Every structure is written in structure tokens, then in C-alpha cells.
């Protein structure tokens, strides 16, 4: 996971590459990011469905090797139309990795340890993301093309590692005895593992799972807040004379805190009721984002960032573990895919909506509205607190025959 995220070189610099290197202008550059969001949105349900049907490992390999191949082609494109297609296709392929990888963790780790496993994964992701932009910036000095080549190389390297060292974990492909012997959670009574579930039946089951859909709505609200940290937050700081370099240092606080504190934080929060930890984590995030409205200097912006980061660390390891509990075993990757679609959807609309609010209503309304969104998310989590508790104790809603 660290290798994969450390090698994420292109996406952080994609708009800069299209605008500065190819001279396509801001409109095309932002459209390319929008196309990436569309591809990522589709990859959630498609990748989840394929990972449940054919296995986690094979979809991860397709995502990594397929993404590497697309990057090599992408590096040669100059036509705006071709670039938009390539951006969307790249996202569609490479983002299928996420639901497959998350489902694999759910397969391998017993329920009481899943929050720790997802917390460790998040640390690896943030550590990788802290390295990736630095490496990408150095490669840009030599050639933008190295961004594509370097990203493709690390994706292929991670693919080879999976090919050599990681076995398939799909529960439906192994009997319960073998699953227990291998440390894999065996199929439970509600999982219907071993049965093939059609895409239409899976979608119907997910949409009818009301607590899970409410959970996804709360997650979408949280994802909307995170999108502001990469879009309107630097614009708002710029209004106070704080440039990109200082913004980079402030936002780096988030990554450093996660790398240093996420694992001990996970050990602490695992002692408490997960539903209430999610609720209070959302409240803390709302306070942090709301305080940005009253910040006016570097230290105040940094303080607000530290507060919402603490809220983030309370939520991050629990959310995918809760999704795993909601999902029948035979649909684990598809549930993870829908969960990931919340983030992809927020990527598509978060920056444009936040930008409109900031431009037309100003910073106070912008960050006040973010605090309000956090409250809405907390209420959503509160409304399903019993379902979150019950699904941990009783198990997922079974598939109807």
C-alpha cells in the first residue's frame, strides 16, 4: 500500500501538466479532473462487483497492471478529447483496486481487529502520499513524462508484489475450515458465501439496506468536507496573504499527525462504542472546519487543521470496519465499492459547490456551512447508532433466496 501511494505521481500534478506543459488551459485541465471523478465513481460499483465475482487478487492485479499500461499511453496524448477519455478510463481501471483491497482486509482480519487493520492501512496511505508529491516534484524538473513513467513503474512493482506474495482471499472460494486455518473470516450465516449474486440483486440489496444507505449519506457529507481542504481551503488562506508554500506546510500537519498518532488513537477509540465514536469524531471535525471561518493567521489555520484532523483520526479506522459488518460475505467488495463511491461523488461536486459558496457568500458562510454539513452527518450517524451496534453483534442482513 505504501509503494502504491508513494507512487501516486500523476494525479496531484495532472492539472499543472495539462495547463502548463500542454497549454490546454484551466477549463480542459479541470474537465480532466472531472472525468477522473466520473471514472472513479463508476469504478466503485464495477470493481466491487468484479472482486466479489472473480476474486480480490485478480481485480487488484488488473487495476495495477492495467493502470500502468494506460499511463504509458496517456503520456503520449496531446488531444483534449483523447486526454479526457484517458483520464476517465485510467480512473475507471485503477480505482477498482480500492474496493478489492478493502474487501481483502475484511476477509483476512477478524472483526474485533478490523479497525486496527484499516487504521494501519490509512497510515501507510498517508505516508505514501507524503512521499509521492515530493518525488513527483523532483521528476518534473527533468520531464513531465517521468510522472507517467514513474507512476506506471510503481504500480507495476506493486502488482508484481501481489502476484508473488499475496494469495486470493475470496471467502466463496474456500471452505470454512481452510478459511479459519488461513486466518480468514469464515462465511457466516448471513453471508451466503459461495453463492453468486447478480449485479441487479446486489444493487437492490444495498439500496434496501436503509441503515447502510444512511451511513453512506453521512460519509458523503464527511467526504465533502475533505474535498474543501484541497480546493477552497488554499483559496481562503490566499485571501489572508498566505500562499501555496505555507498552505502546503499547514496541510502537511494533517499527514504528520496521522502517521504519528493514528495507531495509538485507534487503540484508544477501540475501547468505546463505535457508533458514538463516529458521532463525536464528526462533531470534532465540524468544530475544526467551523473555526477556519474565524482564523486569520498561520497559527490559527494550523490550530483548526489539528482539530479537524483529530476528528478524522477518530473516524477513519472505524468507517470501513462498519461497512464490512454491514455487508454479507458474498457482497463485501460491492459494499466497499458503494462506500468508495461516496468519496468519488464528493470529489466531483465538493470543489465546485464549495467554490461557489466561497465566491458568492464569503469565508464565514463557507466554513459555517461546512460546520452545518458536519452536524447533518453526525445526526445521520446518530440515527443508525443502534443498527451499527446490532450489525456488529448479530451480523449482516442476509441475502434473500
CATH number at residue 234: 1.20.1250.20
In-domain check, residue 159? yes
Pair 247, 370: CB distance under 8 Å: no
Q: What is the DSSP code (8-state) at residue 347?
A: H
- When pLDDT is averaged across residues 256-262 and rounded to a whole number, the result is 89
Q: 164 lies in which domain range?
A: 2-181
Q: With 80 as the cut, is the pLDDT of residue 195 above it?
A: no
Highest mean pLDDT among 145-154, 243-252, 265-274, 291-300: 291-300
Whether residues 217 and 161 share a domain: the answer is: no
Q: Tell me, what's the pLDDT at 172?
A: 58
Q: Tell me, what's the pLDDT at 330?
A: 86
CA distances from 228 to 16, 69, 114, 163, 236 (A): 19, 32, 28, 37, 10
In-domain check, residue 297? yes
Of the residues 181, 214, 234, which one is the last residue of a structural domain? Answer: 181
Whether residues 124 and 265 share a domain: the answer is: no
CA distances from 283 to 9, 142, 230, 276, 372 (A): 33, 45, 21, 10, 10
Whether residues 28 and 104 share a domain: the answer is: yes
In-domain check, residue 188? no
Whether residues 10 and 64 share a domain: the answer is: yes
Whether residues 316 and 169 share a domain: the answer is: no
Pairwise pLDDT comparison (346 vs 218), residue with the higher score: 218
Q: Tell me, what's the pLDDT at 27?
A: 66
* pTM for the predicted model, two decimal places: 0.80
In-domain check, residue 99? yes
Q: Tell me, what's the pLDDT at 187?
A: 42
Of the residues 128, 150, 181, which one is the last residue of a structural domain? Answer: 181
Q: How many Å apart are CA 303 and CA 257, to the nearest integer?
A: 12
Pairwise pLDDT comparison (70 vs 26), residue with the higher score: 70
* DSSP code string of 204-231: HHHHH-HHHHHHHHHHHHHHHHHHHHHT
Pairwise pLDDT comparison (301 vs 9), residue with the higher score: 301
Q: Tell me, what's the pLDDT at 393?
A: 66
Inter-axis angle of helices 80-94 and 25-54, nearest 10:
30
How high does pLDDT run on average in the chain? 83
Number of domains in the chain: 2
Q: What confidence category does residue 201 fall into, taking pLDDT thresholds of 50, 70 and 90?
A: confident
Amino acid at each position: 500500500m505504501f509503494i502504491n501511494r508513494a507512487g501516486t505521481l500523476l494525479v496531484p500534478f495532472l492539472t499543472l501538466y495539462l495547463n502548463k506543459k500542454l497549454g490546454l488551459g484551466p477549463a480542459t485541465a479541470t474537465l480532466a479532473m472531472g472525468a477522473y471523478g466520473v471514472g472513479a465513481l463508476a469504478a466503485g460499483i464495477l470493481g466491487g462487483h468484479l472482486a466479489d465475482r472473480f476474486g480480490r487478487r485478480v481485480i487488484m492485479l488488473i487495476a495495477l497492471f492495467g493502470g500502468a499500461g494506460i499511463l504509458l499511453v496517456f503520456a503520449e496524448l496531446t488531444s483534449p478529447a483523447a486526454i479526457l477519455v484517458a483520464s476517465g478510463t485510467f480512473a475507471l481501471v485503477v480505482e477498482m483496486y480500492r474496493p478489492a483491497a478493502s474487501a481483502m482486509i475484511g476477509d483476512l482480519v477478524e472483526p474485533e481487529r478490523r479497525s486496527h487493520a484499516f487504521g494501519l492501512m490509512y497510515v501507510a496511505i498517508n505516508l505514501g502520499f507524503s512521499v509521492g508529491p515530493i518525488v513527483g516534484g523532483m521528476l518534473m524538473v527533468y520531464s513531465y513524462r517521468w510522472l507517467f513513467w514513474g507512476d506506471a513503474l510503481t504500480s507495476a512493482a506493486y502488482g508484481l508484489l501481489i502476484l508473488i506474495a499475496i494469495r486470493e482471499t475470496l471467502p466463496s472460494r474456500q471452505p470454512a475450515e481452510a478459511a479459519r486455518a488461513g486466518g480468514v473470516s469464515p462465511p457466516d450465516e448471513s453471508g451466503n458465501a459461495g453463492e453468486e449474486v447478480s449485479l441487479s440483486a446486489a444493487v437492490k440489496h444495498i439500496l434496501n439496506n436503509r441503515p447502510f444507505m444512511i451511513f453512506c449519506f453521512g460519509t458523503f457529507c464527511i467526504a465533502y468536507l475533505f474535498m474543501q481542504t484541497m480546493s477552497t481551503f488554499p483559496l481562503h488562506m490566499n485571501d489572508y496573504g498566505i500562499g501555496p508554500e505555507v498552505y502546503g506546510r499547514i496541510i502537511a500537519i494533517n499527514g504528520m499527525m496521522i502517521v504519528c498518532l493514528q495507531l495509538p488513537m485507534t487503540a484508544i477509540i477501540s475501547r468505546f462504542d463505535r457508533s458514538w465514536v463516529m458521532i463525536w469524531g464528526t462533531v470534532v471535525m465540524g468544530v475544526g472546519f467551523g473555526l477556519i471561518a474565524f482564523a486569520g493567521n498561520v497559527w490559527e489555520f494550523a490550530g483548526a487543521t489539528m482539530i479537524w484532523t483529530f476528528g478524522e483520526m477518530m473516524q477513519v479506522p472505524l468507517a470501513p470496519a462498519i461497512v464490512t459488518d454491514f455487508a454479507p460475505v458474498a457482497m463485501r467488495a460491492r459494499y466497499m465499492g458503494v462506500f468508495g463511491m461516496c468519496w468519488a461523488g464528493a470529489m466531483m461536486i465538493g470543489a465546485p459547490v464549495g467554490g461557489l459558496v466561497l465566491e458568492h457568500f464569503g469565508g464565514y458562510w463557507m466554513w459555517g456551512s461546512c460546520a452545518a454539513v458536519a452536524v447533518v452527518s453526525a445526526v445521520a450517524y446518530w440515527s443508525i447508532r443502534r443498527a451499527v451496534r446490532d450489525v456488529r453483534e448479530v451480523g449482516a442482513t442476509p441475502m434473500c433466496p
